[in-house]
Structure 1
């Protein structure tokens, strides 16, 4: 845009919009955003400066952008990879806009206009489209949300703040009126979203704090704490789950702690580690894991008895031998 307006000083917004293939409203929005671009440091003397209205547009400081950008093959490839990655994440960008940009960059790289079949942009989930609309219009939302940590579906009203990327998943960061705090809602777990006809009103300090609630697992004292003994060859679980190492034993075993929301969910998780992780506490979690292990072993024993053969079934450090 900068080289274009330098080559056409004083052009009207309507004429420029027509030549650039956008609406006048979109052009004025882009010009307002252009004010925030410039050189590293981004102080008043580094930012692009321009004078514009619907009657006349003129660049007064170009920050060195005096000719159209030319990407190297490496730069264009990196940009395409980044665009495709973002386009595949729910809610991060408008998928139609992202795929349009991808097509234009690919055409620029090849040096000719693409004439093959057009691959349609992926259809965005209705709930995700509603979330993006509410953010753009600054409206509150009613969500039906599945919480994986508690294995429950709940309904709540939230005040959207922004969409963020955490651990390669996109989340809505919002003020939850029910919890009276900032929460993250993973976009692919929002089952329904309804945009309300009322303005979003998150507390000013919550909206201003961009890092608020970005820790997916808050180590709050009100949340139950599991004490675990992790076998040396299972140390990888510390990198995959929100655990805190307490001490390391001479044999390489690791004692660690982990907060959990519901007993049932935590017991299922621990059973999946087999004998690699032993539960040390709390007592109710030890009981839950033991009961589930016993029920599973009984089911296997019944199957072995029906088959009339002996079998050994290890499960979470336990062994049971089926009848001969």
Structure 2
């Protein structure tokens, strides 16, 4: 059996915004063509169809017939036949108001948030309407280096080049480089600086928590006109066919990696083990990755990675040996 794993979708916040805009748009335009709706809403027809599929399971508590949003399709045209009361003024119970206030406070604390003013205005309105119900002493603080993200965002907004000291996990090395900031992104709950790297001569994503030092330079940022931007996804790493491919045999306790890492192919073998094919940035990263997984994962290919893992594991075992050949455990037991 072969199972495909998705490489990720757009951020949940972006999709929520699309869904909130989609229902009133469709209510005002019954029978609109999907292609026209996608163009008006700034998305693709495929993404719009996926959003419409999600709307089928959205609605009022109870989530049974008569509670969920309903639609009718006529070829490539769509009409909302039941809006689940979305056109009525929203009335919140005290518990609902407090939950919404806490969620908005958390959103306002999110580093790299582009529309912070809009969130704060909405929060102020709800707090005012909810009165004492929203006055509970709830303090929201998100983990992460907010100050560093704020400095990166400030550099991107000021249009100045930045010298950073950056740790590259894929190669396990720290480098100094000058970059020209483009924007700060939040992907998969982490902050990233998207910038033109003068060393690599390409656009790169730099994870904020791996920036060890940051100095704004007096020179202006010089992003080449041909520099493209990354497509916003839930995962920063997007495998491409030019990257090395590795094949791993994974036991039951190691299956979680297929949920956290993009996989090209997953085959279930007769003995219950999984044969997983995935792309990696380089084999040095793959070697450290496999060694960290322990006995639950075995490298099948490529042969170069098999040899590297075997050599590293043998060296680690040799480090535990005591001079004279006796294992450390035996020596301590006899002492």
Structure 1 and Structure 2 fold alike (TM over 0.5): yes
Q: 1:153 to 1:98 in 2, by over 3 A?
A: farther
1:306 equivalent to 2:331? Answer yes
SS in 1 for 2:314: helix
Within the candidate set 210, 226, 237, 1:189 is matched to 210
Structure 2 residue runs of 5 or longer lacking an equivalent are 1-20, 27-88
Is the Cα–Cα contact under 8 Å of residues 225 and 260 in structure 1 kept in the other structure? yes
Q: Does 1:242 align with 2:258?
A: no
Match of 2:278 in 1: 258
Correspondent of 1:78 among 100, 103, 117: 100
SS at match of 2:216: strand
Q: Report the counterpart of residue 267 of structure 1 in structure 2.
A: 287
Moved more, 289-298 or 91-100: 91-100
Distance 2:313 2:277 in 1: 21
Structure 2 residue 163 is matched with structure 1 residue 142: yes
**Secondary structure at the counterpart of residue 285 of structure 1:** helix
Question: What is the aligned partner in structure 2 of residue 53 from structure 1?
Answer: none
Give the match for residue 293 of structure 1.
Answer: 313
1:156 maps to what in 2?
Answer: 177
Equivalent pair of 2:187/2:233 in contact (CA under 8 Å): no
CA distance in 2, matches of 1:241, 1:121: 24
Q: Which of 202, 213, 220 is the matching residue for 1:199?
A: 220
What CA RMSD, in Å, does the superposition of the two structures yield over aligned residues?
A: 4.3
CA–CA distance in structure 1, aligned partners of residues 149 and 165 of structure 2: 12
Q: Residues 248 and 298 of structure 2 are in contact (CA less than 8 Å); yes or no, is this contact kept in structure 1?
A: yes
Query: Which of 263, 280, 291 is equivalent to 2:300?
Result: 280
CA contact (8 A) 2:188 2:236 kept: no
Structure 1 distance, partners of 2:129, 2:149, is 31
Write the distance in 2 (CA, Å) between the matches of 1:95 and 1:123: 18
Q: Equivalent residue for 1:130?
A: 151
Checking the alignment, whether the CA contact within 8 Å between 1:134 and 1:140 is kept in structure 2 is yes
Name which structure has the greater RCO, CA cutoff 8 Å, separation 6+. 2
After TM superposition, give the deviation of residue 76 of structure 1 in Å: 5.5
Give per-residue Cα distances to partners, 1:281-304, cap 9 Å, x unaligned. 222321222223223334177222
Whether 1:224 aligns to 2:244 is: yes
Corresponding residue SS for 1:279: strand
Q: Give the equivalent residue in structure 1 for 2:130.
A: 109
Cα distance, 1:106–1:79 mapped onto 2, change above 3 Å: closer
Alpha-carbon offset, residue 205 of structure 1: 5.7
TM-score with structure 2 setting the length: 0.57
Between structure 1 and structure 2, the one with the greater Rg is 1
CA deviation after TM superposition for structure 1 residue 103, in Å: 8.2
Alpha-carbon distance in structure 2 between the residues aligned to 1:120 and 1:239: 27
CA distance in structure 2 between the aligned counterparts of 1:141 and 1:71, rounded to whole angstroms: 48
Give the stretch that moved more between structures: 161-170 or 211-220. Answer: 211-220
How far off its partner does 1:248 sit?
Answer: 2.9
Q: Is the 8 A contact 2:160 2:219 kept in 1?
A: yes
TM-score (norm 1): 0.59
Q: CA deviation at 1:279?
A: 0.6
Contact 2:243–2:282 at 8 Å: present in 1 too? no
List aligned pairs for 1:37-56, cutoff 5 A.
Answer: none
